[in-house]
Amino acid sequence: MDFIKRHRVEPGKAAKLKSISTDDTGDVKNKAEAKEITADLTKEIRDLQYRMFVEQKQSLLVVLQAPDAAGKDGLIRKVLGQMNPQGCRTYPFKVPSEIERAHDFLWRIHKCTPAKGMVSIFNRSHYEDVLVVRVEDLVPKSVWSKRYNIINQFESNLAAAGTRILKFYLHISPAEQLERFKKRLDNPDKHWKLNAGDYTARDKWDAYRESYEDAIEKCNSDESPWFVIPADNKWYRDASVAGIVHQTLTDMNPQMPPVDVDLDEIRALYDREIADQQE
C-alpha cells in the first residue's frame, strides 16, 4: 500500500483537518494485519537505516506533532525507536529553558538536526513556535506570523545538506482523546502524564486545529512534506508511519561504501599468524 500517496498533504493545498478522517485504516483490514505489516516494515527500516548509518552521506529528520494522547510516545517506542540506537536520537522539545528563550526559536532545534548517517526524531519541534505560542498568545502575531517563512528557509537548508525530512501530524478526534485521558486515570503507570492543563487545552481544540492547518499549509513542500496520520487506531498509526519511513528510506537507497583495504592482503596476514601459532 502506498502510504505516502494516501496521507501526504499536497503542497500548495489547504489542509482541512476537519474533513480528514481520524479513523481511516486504508487497505489495512484489521489490527492483526496491521501488526504484521508494522513488524515486517520495522525490520526492513532497521536494515536500511544501518546502511544509511554506514554510508554517512544522507540523514533523516522525523518531526512528530500531535495533540496530547495522540500517541507520539507509543509510536517512538514501537516503531521509530526500533532503529539501531547508535544511529538514531530522540529529542523532546518541551517548554524552552531560560537559555533557550534567550536565543531565536531555531537555536535549540538546529543543535539537534541529524549529522550525515544519522536519524533525528523530534518529539514536538520548532512547530510549537507557531502552535502553542500562537494559541496561548505567548508572542505577538507580528512575531509568530514571520516564522513560517523562517521555518521554510531553515528546512530548505537542511534538505540542501542531504537531510530528508518527514513531518507527521497524528490526527485524533476529541472523543478519542477524551477516551485515552480517561484510561490514563485508571492506569497508575500513566498518572505521571496527567496534568491539570490537559483538560483545559481541550477548550482550545479549534484554535489548535486552525494553527495546525496554517502551519501545514504554509510549511509544506516536496523537500519537507507533511503527513496527516489517522491516529484513532494505534495499529494503523504505527503501520502507516512505518510505511512512510520505509518508502522514504528505500527511495534514499543508501549504499554500503566500497572497501578501501586489500582483502586478500589482510587475509594473508591472518592466515600467516594462525599458521605461526600452530607451529
Site residues (CB under 8 A) for its own copies?
54, 73, 76-77, 80-81, 84-86, 88-90, 92, 121, 123, 175, 178, 181-182, 185, 188-189, 191-192, 194-196, 198-199, 202, 256-257, 259, 261, 263, 266-267, 269-270, 273-274, 277
Return the number of the residue (142 or 277) whose C-beta is nearest its own copies: 277
Sign of the dihedral through C-alpha 149, 6, 171, 97: negative
DSSP letter, residue 226 = E
Return the number of the residue (76 or 132) whose C-beta is nearest its own copies: 76
Return the number of the residue (19 or 278) whose C-beta is nearest its own copies: 278
Tell the smallest beta-carbon distance from residue 218 to its own copies (Å): 29
Tell the smallest beta-carbon distance from residue 271 to its own copies (Å): 9
Of 79, 244, 256, 255, give the one whose Cα is nearest residue 164: 244
Return the number of the residue (71 or 225) whose C-beta is nearest its own copies: 71
Task: Quote the CA–CA distance of 124 and 270 in Å, as a whole number.
Answer: 51
Tell the smallest beta-carbon distance from residue 26 to its own copies (Å): 27
Tell the smallest beta-carbon distance from residue 268 to its own copies (Å): 11
For the beta sheet containing 163-171, the strands, ordered from the edge strand earlier in sequence to the opposite edge, are 88-92, 119-123, 59-65, 163-171, 226-230
Tell the smallest beta-carbon distance from residue 196 to its own copies (Å): 6
Phi, psi of 10 (to 5 degrees): -65, 125
Tell the smallest beta-carbon distance from residue 108 to its own copies (Å): 14
Question: 53: how many CB neighbours lie within 10 A of its CB?
Answer: 19
Return the number of the residue (151 or 242) whose C-beta is nearest its own copies: 242
Q: If DSSP codes are grouped into helix, strand and coil, which group holds residue 58?
A: coil
The residue ranges of DSSP E strands in the chain, in sequence order, are 59-65, 88-92, 119-123, 163-171, 226-230
Return the number of the residue (144 or 168) whose C-beta is nearest its own copies: 168
Task: Quote the CA–CA distance of 151 and 237 in Å, as a whole number.
Answer: 26
Of 110, 106, 112, give the one whose Cα is nearest residue 126: 106
Tell the smallest beta-carbon distance from residue 98 to its own copies (Å): 16
Question: 275: how many CB neighbours lie within 10 A of its CB?
Answer: 9
Return the number of the residue (16 or 174) whose C-beta is nearest its own copies: 174
Q: Output the nine-digit C-alpha cell for 137.
A: 498568545
Longest dimension (CA), the chain: 82
